[in-house]
Amino acid sequence: MKVTIFGSGYVGLVTAACLAEVGHHILCVDVDRRRIERLGRGEVPIHEPGLDELIARNRAAGRLGFTHDADAGVAHGRVQMIAVGTPPDEDGSADLRHVLAVAETIGARMNDHKVVITKSTVPVGTGDKVRAALAAALARRGVAPGFDLVSNPEFLKEGAAIGDFMKPDRIVVGCDGDQAVPLLRELYEPFNRNRDRLLVMDLRSAELTKYASNAMLATRISFMNELARFAEAAGADIESVRQGMGSDSRIGHAFLYPGLGYGGSCFPKDVKALVRSAAEVGCDAAILKAVEAVNEHQKRRLFAKMTRHFGSLEGRTIALWGLAFKPQTDDMREAPSRVLLECLWQAGARVRAFDPVAMGEARALYGERDDLALCDSAMAALEGCDALAIVTEWPEFRRPDLERMARTLRAPVMFDGRNLFDPATLRGLGWCYYGIGRGETAPSAPRSDEAPLRLAQRQAAAARAPAAERRTERASTDVAPA
């Protein structure tokens, strides 16, 4: 099948590469000429595990191409996908200018029947606006080749997007008639073999399904973060509480990890847009407003703990492990690290930071600053620092050499924003440890008689609990920007 995809951002590129991988012929169209030129040279402008190889393989096979020529794009595919960004306006509503501009572009050029699919995350009712834009463009030309309109939202997690696309939980298809459904079944047949994952519904319900899914996941995160604050005040351990809750099959373990709040391009944007959309039809989304408020507060939790520990942060140097909003991505949009960095700088502190893949993004955001050193390794970031803050739960941070870390820091002080370590074990190793919802622990008396083997065993235990059973979560379902 020939498919045109307008937009070569996160959703557009992942969708294009995965559809090409199963044999479809895909042409990506983007107005950003520099991006198209980079893609034409084989340079992938986003970080997503496995995407570079997938794009290279399908370009070489002739199934995937890139262009800025809208005429060629509209002529190419019977299926026209809209996968452009919907950034938030100042009032929190989704900015649909790019989506409607693509609809007008298609309508101004189509000469035969098209199936127009909205892949972008859009508010309820956007389909009506896209239909009107298409119809107006066709009317200006005095032609009526006909089109079907479909809402087909994506549910991709950054860092695991290819697996999500290739083995989807569900394929949501929203349309106000059945004419396009057989074509969508054919398009997604390679991903829909062992059971029927295609959920057909009306257009508005499909649009709301995407927002509702992201809002539910964001709600679980904020709920656990609120419980973590209560557990800390009440002397309970939120990790034990989380395990007790997650063992209930009605609840499950996913997205129950307390931390520093959600970030990325999707959850923050989609919660705001859903609140705004609800207000437009006279509904007060009180729960979602609270979700948003809790999340903003949570991003400042580590800084508050640092202030209580040190008093003044003026002249202090803090090591940061992790800059991306989650592991397996370089995306720093709405990342908790950015809030913490700004708070530390305002307090007069310096930062030495390391992230396995987001260093380039950090340089692009902040440039050269006297109060920020971007280091070559996690261990190098500790040199000369008064404390360590763990902000992103990258796998390589879970089994460090704690003894070497303690020697490298000025003092063994850890602010663990992702609860990677067990407080009691860290305390026994001489650390002053602050987690999320786990109390604040001072070190135990030194244990000089402890044998080296026993010390190594205790270090391993510290890294295993609770990290061994922890699962990396994604948020984005689009957690991924269009």
Exposure class string for 246-256: b at 16+ Cβ within 10 A, else e: beeeeeebebb
What is d(CA 147, CA 177) in angstroms, rounded to the nearest whole number?
A: 12
Query: Is 266 a known active-site residue?
Result: yes
* CA pseudo-torsion sign 396, 401, 406, 410: negative
Three-state secondary-structure class, residue 382: coil
Cα separation, 31 vs 332, in Å, equals: 24
Tokens of 164: 């999500």
Sheet with 317-321: list strands edge to edge. 372-374, 350-354, 317-321, 387-390, 413-416, 432-434, 440-441
d(C-alpha 312, C-alpha 228), whole Å: 25
- 443 to each of 254, 410, 413, 440, how far by Cα in Å? 32, 15, 9, 10
Name the catalytic one among 266, 343, 375, 385.
266
Query: What is the Cα–Cα distance from 370 to 351, expressed in whole angstroms?
Result: 9
What is the number of other CB atoms lying within 10 angstroms of the CB of residue 146? Answer: 11
Nearest Cα residue to 228 out of 476, 435, 33, 477: 435
DSSP conformational letter for 368: S
Q: How many CA atoms lie within 13 A of 319 on its CB side?
A: 29
Query: Look-up: residue for tokens 């696309």?
Result: 165
Task: List strands edge to edge, sheet with 25-29.
Answer: 64-67, 25-29, 2-6, 79-82, 114-118, 147-151, 171-174, 198-201
Catalytic residues, which ones?
Answer: 266
